[in-house]
Structure 1
Amino acid sequence: MYAIIKTGGKQYMVEQGDKILVEKLNAAEGDTVNVEVVAVSDNGDVKTGVVAGKVTAKVLSHGKGKKIIVFKYKAKKDYRNKKGHRQPFTELEIQSIQA
C-alpha cells in the first residue's frame, strides 16, 4: 500500500515506515501530523480525491539543508553580489496509511 501526499507545494510517494524530508512545518519534534492525501493505492485499487484516505506522520527533526551560493555579477560594471542560502526542512516518518 502506498499513498501520494502533498505538502509544501510538492508531492511525495510514500509507504508506511518511510522517512522523508519536506518543507519546514510548524510542528514540534515528536508531534504527529496529518498530511494532505492526493491518492491512495491499495493492492492496485487506486483512489483519488479529497476523501482518498488519511496519512499520519511523526515529526522526527527539523534542520537546514546544504548551503547553496547565489552569485550575481555584471561584466565590466564592478557589480558583484554573493549570497548563501540554506533551506529549512522537516524530517517525517510515515506511521500509517488508511484508504
Structure 2
Amino acid sequence: MIYAIIEASGKQIWIQPGCFYDINKIDAKPGEIIKLEKTLLINNNTEVFIGQPYLNNVNITGKVLKHLRGRKITIFKMKPKKNIRQKNGHRQELSRILIQTIEIVNN
C-alpha cells in the first residue's frame, strides 16, 4: 500500500492512488490532469521518504472530477443588551480530485 502526505490548498492531506479527495477550489476545468507538487512524505511499503520540507523526486498526478460546494456553515453574531443579531451562512467552493498515480523518480 503506497501512500503520500501532500500539502494542497493550505492543508496536509493523506492520499492514496485510486481515491478521490475534496480540496479548496483550484483553477482547472473538470477532466483536466493536474500535477501535485508539494509532497511531504511517501511510504512505499518498504521505504519511507521524508521531505525537508518537500520531496523533489516525486510525481503525483490527479484528475479534476468536478467542482462543488461544501456543507453550509452558519455564523451567528450577537451583542448582548444592544439588540444586535446577525446570522450569515457560508459554503466553501471545493474541487474533487481523483489521485491517479504516485511515482518516485530515481535520479
* TM-score calculated relative to the size of structure 1: 0.94
Identity %: 36
Unaligned runs of 5+ in 2: none
Tell me which amino acid in the other structure corresponds to 1:20.
Y
Q: 2:48 corresponds to which residue?
A: 46
Query: Matches of residues 1-99 of structure 1 in structure 2 within 5 Å?
Result: 1-35=2-36, 36-49=38-51, 50-99=55-104
Unaligned runs of 5+ in 1: none
- d(CA) in 2 for partners of 1:32, 1:97: 13
Cα offset, 1:41, TM superposition: 1.1
Detail structure 1 runs of 4+ shifted over 3 Å in the superposition. none
In terms of mean alpha carbon deviation, does 41-50 or 13-22 score higher?
A: 41-50
Query: 1:65, 1:86 within 8 Å by CA — same for their partners in 2?
Result: yes
- d(CA) in 2 for partners of 1:52, 1:37: 9
Query: 1:39, 1:53 within 8 Å by CA — same for their partners in 2?
Result: no
* TM-score calculated relative to the size of structure 2: 0.87
Cα offset, 1:52, TM superposition: 4.5
Cα offset, 1:6, TM superposition: 0.9
- d(CA) in 1 for partners of 2:32, 2:40: 22
